[in-house]
Structure 1
Amino acid sequence: MPFDRSVSVIIPVHNGADFIGTALQSLERQVSDPARMQVVIIDDGSTDRTGDIAREFGDRLGEMVILRNESPQSVGTARVQGLKAADREYIAFLDADDWMAPGRLDHLMARCDELGVDFVRTDHVRAFETGQPREIHRAPEGRRDVPIAARDAILPTNHASLVDYPFPWAGIFHRRLVDDGRLAYDEGLHSFEDRVAIWRLALSDATVAVVDAPWIVYRRDVGTSLTQVFDRRQLAFIDGFALVRDLVMARDEDRVFEAKVIRQFLAIAAHHVARDRGMSHADRRLLRASIREFATTLDREPLAKEWEAIGMARRSQLGPAILPVLKEKASA
């Protein structure tokens, strides 16, 4: 196996001092020669020792680039900054509270090259801060070790597929995807940036393979994670779905995926409504108003069909926002 492949690892982080040392330590045994790895850290307005800890690894991880935003911009903006700074043949992502098993990146580069695909995806292990046993989370694609057109990996539209598995760190990407814009993130999105990016990539002519690999461990239920905060940053999923909707509706041949987008929207909207007790009263009202406003932009027929398919629990959660929209569209 040739060992001349190199990789840029992009790590966006905000106040990650409790975990980033473990993440960086896991990168020490990823490639045969440290010179073959570039680590790009985007310190997005941290007020703890994140930057100091990262600098302690400066002579242990090949080339290290630390970009500092004096105030937090967003995870979407941080990923954009990381891609601009990355200059190696392959691109990988790592969240600051996760870590990789030794040799993962070398293995992924080799598999991507052997299979002749633009990117590969892998399963991952979930580690829970609440003390639950770790569990394996499988990439939702039964075909393994074979090249697949990324667009075909969305099908069938009524089943879970790789656009339901948006994690940037669950694989590796050839940098040609960045150079021609197929792999791109959106500035200003505080969350959901990964789903927009995976849809953009899936609707392109990229090729993908799902492969087995040394594990990446995803730390769940971290109190400082954006998945655990309850403020307006969570409403970024509305802006994200607007971007996905526009991507899918831009070409006639992609409109077959409209129902898939609506199904995702209803599921994620219900998830946020179910956990909105942690939000302020004003943010709860804004959440419901934003869900309703976005629903008005959707075609009635697929919205009505997916509404019937989502189940009683989700209809109960979303009824005050969605039912008035369906009634208005029926009478229009």
Structure 2
Amino acid sequence: MDLKVSVVVPAYNGGVYIDACARSLLDQSLAPDDYEVVFVDDGSTDGTRERLEAVARRHDHVRLIRVDNTGGPGGPRNLGLDAARGEYVYFLDCDDWLGPEALERMHAMAARNGSDVLVGRMVGQGGRRVPRAIFRRSADRARILEDHLLSLLTPHKLFRTAFLREHGLRFPEGPVRLEDHRFVLPAYFKAEVISVLADYPCCYWVQRADEGNYSARRFDAAHYFSVVREVLDIVDEHVEPGPVRDRFYAHWLRGKMLRRMGGGTLMNYPPDYRRELHAAIRGLALERFTPQVERHIPWNLRTRAYLLREGTYEDLEILAEAERGITVRPVLRASLTSQSSIGVWFSADFVYRDGRPVAFRHEDGPDGKHRVLWELPAVLPTPVPTEVLDATAALPRATVGLHARHRGSGVEVSLPTTVSRPCEDRGAVTLAGEAHLATAPEAPMPAGTWDLRVRMDVCGWGVERKLAGIRLVVTKEGEILVRTGRKAARKQSRLRRGARRVPGLRRAVRLARSTRTRLRA
């Protein structure tokens, strides 16, 4: 094939997002003769098709395929794959965009390693969260479990076109769920080489503020978890029963089932739908998941797993309401700037939303050994065994870190952090951190304002919050300045405080700002 990359973009009512997406594809550092863009309009009714027609008329390396609405992105992606002429194909959604060097860097790495699949670094936009572990480092030959590839099963990846066609890999079509899992997971299993490019933000993954995209629709619980069964069948086809299969199964037990049974996720649904969701999840748990799988889930989910199997819906609802809003309470202790580095000292308390500490009780067990038990934040109808609440091994692994987030793009930079445990007051979890950033880092930081955010990981809970009272400003010349005090904290007006209470408003504003920035660039 003469072309290096084909970018396939299914488009359905892309709205203003489609302009930023198209602009990012036209601004690639890869020469236009080396790649093509294949938009597949899936019956848009908001002017998206007309916008894409105009782009295709002006640019020879852009094509547009028009189809009547299929009800899901799978069909348009398959049409784009059939039309692709590149050595590699990248699947991008119409509300996302690429970094300017994304295609050039991803193709170079894939060509160097003979990769069948390459996962390029993704950056969340508009409140979208992106798994961190998968992008801790670049890997020429990544492993599915050890390198956390299951944490990102979206199709935003570079695939060798001949590899997909050789194995007949296609997306399920129509209004179906988890079509990405049923495409990416078989690709992972069949690939000889999977690579991860972690040192460049390739794809900006957008959380839309409206309900116009496919994944925003409320799902039918019975149908959804029947599809999860199909995904588990794919695992069964490639992995023998035993501990390794249990580790694979734990991914879906954790992410698609138990997380929906706790915290804000469960309580945000209407009461009648919560019970429907519980019945579907419990049925699948009893059918396909043995207790051995629970050994591979985060510690904080084990109480939920026990109650899902042995307790009642009321147990899970009470616990979910109590856990809802668990957060970190960070406090800036000091900052110091020298000629070569910036130092930040802070503390972090692990608390419930009402400010009470998430507490652990220290005691001696029947065998005389010291143990640490989670003190449940509410009384449950079903007693929970102490072995389920035992956090003796998990709690010492609690950690805290500091990272900077660019206000405009959402790009994040981790700051090396030294962690200490200054005190433990009645079982409360308090950690202290000391982080440093070079004033002239090896990888230059984009100009603009950067907020510092504290992330705390305790027994499987991962929470983060802005560190008030400090921010970084990177000048156009690359100089990093520190701003502290009340101006850095930005005291909020009544209007701003009121806006915080409107669901989805802050996310919509952030997304509008980032999209505007992208269009002006």
TM-score by length of 2: 0.52
Q: Which residue of 1 aligns with 2:154?
A: 167
Is the aligned partner of 1:206 residue 2:198? Answer: no
Q: Which residue of 1 aligns with 2:337?
A: none
Partner SS for 1:125: strand
Structure 1: where are the runs of 5+ without partners?
A: 324-332
Give 1:220's aligned amino acid. Q
Partners of 2:289 and 2:30 lie apart in 1 by: 52
| Structure 1 residues 285 and 76, CA gap change in structure 2 (3 angstroms) | farther
Partners of 2:201 and 2:135 lie apart in 1 by: 18
Partner deviation per Cα, 1:199-243 (whole Å, 9 max, x = no partner): 212222431111233532111253326587352267664244212
Greater shift, 301-310 or 24-33, is seen at 301-310
Tell me, yes or no, if the aligned pair for 2:72 and 2:214 is still in contact at 8 Å.
Answer: no
Give 2:237's aligned amino acid. A
| Structure 1 residues 136 and 80, CA gap change in structure 2 (3 angstroms) | closer
2:225 to 216, 229, 238: 238
Q: Which residue of 2 aligns with 1:105?
A: 103
Q: CA deviation at 1:90?
A: 0.9
Is the aligned partner of 1:124 residue 2:128? Answer: no
Tell me, yes or no, if the aligned pair for 2:294 and 2:302 is still in contact at 8 Å.
Answer: no
1:297 to 287, 295, 298: 287
Partners of 1:55 and 1:96 lie apart in 2 by: 14
| Structure 1 residues 143 and 22, CA gap change in structure 2 (3 angstroms) | closer
Give 1:201's aligned amino acid. A
Q: Which residue of 2 aligns with 1:196?
A: 182
Partners of 2:93 and 2:307 lie apart in 1 by: 31
Tell me, yes or no, if the aligned pair for 1:35 and 1:63 is still in contact at 8 Å.
Answer: no
Structure 2: where are the runs of 5+ without partners?
A: 316-521
Partner SS for 1:109: helix
Q: CA deviation at 1:92?
A: 0.4
Q: Give matches, 1:60-79, under 5 Å.
A: 60=59, 62-70=61-69, 72-79=70-77
Partner deviation per Cα, 1:273-305 (whole Å, 9 max, x = no partner): 453556566654442332233224315343554
Q: CA deviation at 1:32?
A: 4.0
Partners of 2:248 and 2:213 lie apart in 1 by: 22
| Structure 1 residues 305 and 69, CA gap change in structure 2 (3 angstroms) | same
Tell me, yes or no, if the aligned pair for 2:39 and 2:80 is still in contact at 8 Å.
Answer: yes
Tell me, yes or no, if the aligned pair for 1:245 and 1:258 is still in contact at 8 Å.
Answer: no
Greater shift, 89-98 or 46-55, is seen at 46-55
Q: CA deviation at 1:26?
A: 0.7
TM-score by length of 1: 0.77
Q: Which residue of 1 aligns with 2:253?
A: 266
1:81 to 66, 74, 79: 79
| Structure 1 residues 257 and 69, CA gap change in structure 2 (3 angstroms) | farther
Is the aligned partner of 1:140 residue 2:134? Answer: yes
1:186 to 167, 172, 175: 172
| Structure 1 residues 51 and 279, CA gap change in structure 2 (3 angstroms) | farther
- Structure with the higher helix share, 1 or 2: 1
Partner deviation per Cα, 1:154-190 (whole Å, 9 max, x = no partner): 234xxx7111112322x31111221122643222464
Tell me, yes or no, if the aligned pair for 2:88 and 2:159 is still in contact at 8 Å.
Answer: yes
Return the structure number with greater relative CO, CA threshold 8 A, min gap 6. 1
| Structure 1 residues 301 and 258, CA gap change in structure 2 (3 angstroms) | same
Q: CA deviation at 1:18?
A: 2.1
Q: CA deviation at 1:20?
A: 0.6
Give 2:292's aligned amino acid. P
| Structure 1 residues 85 and 5, CA gap change in structure 2 (3 angstroms) | closer
Partners of 1:20 and 1:307 lie apart in 2 by: 38
Is the aligned partner of 1:52 residue 2:50? Answer: yes
Q: CA deviation at 1:22?
A: 0.8
Q: Percent identity?
A: 24
| Structure 1 residues 252 and 167, CA gap change in structure 2 (3 angstroms) | closer
Q: CA deviation at 1:25?
A: 0.9
Tell me, yes or no, if the aligned pair for 2:101 and 2:202 is still in contact at 8 Å.
Answer: no
Greater shift, 246-255 or 261-270, is seen at 246-255
Q: CA deviation at 1:135?
A: 8.4
Q: Which residue of 2 aligns with 1:327?
A: none
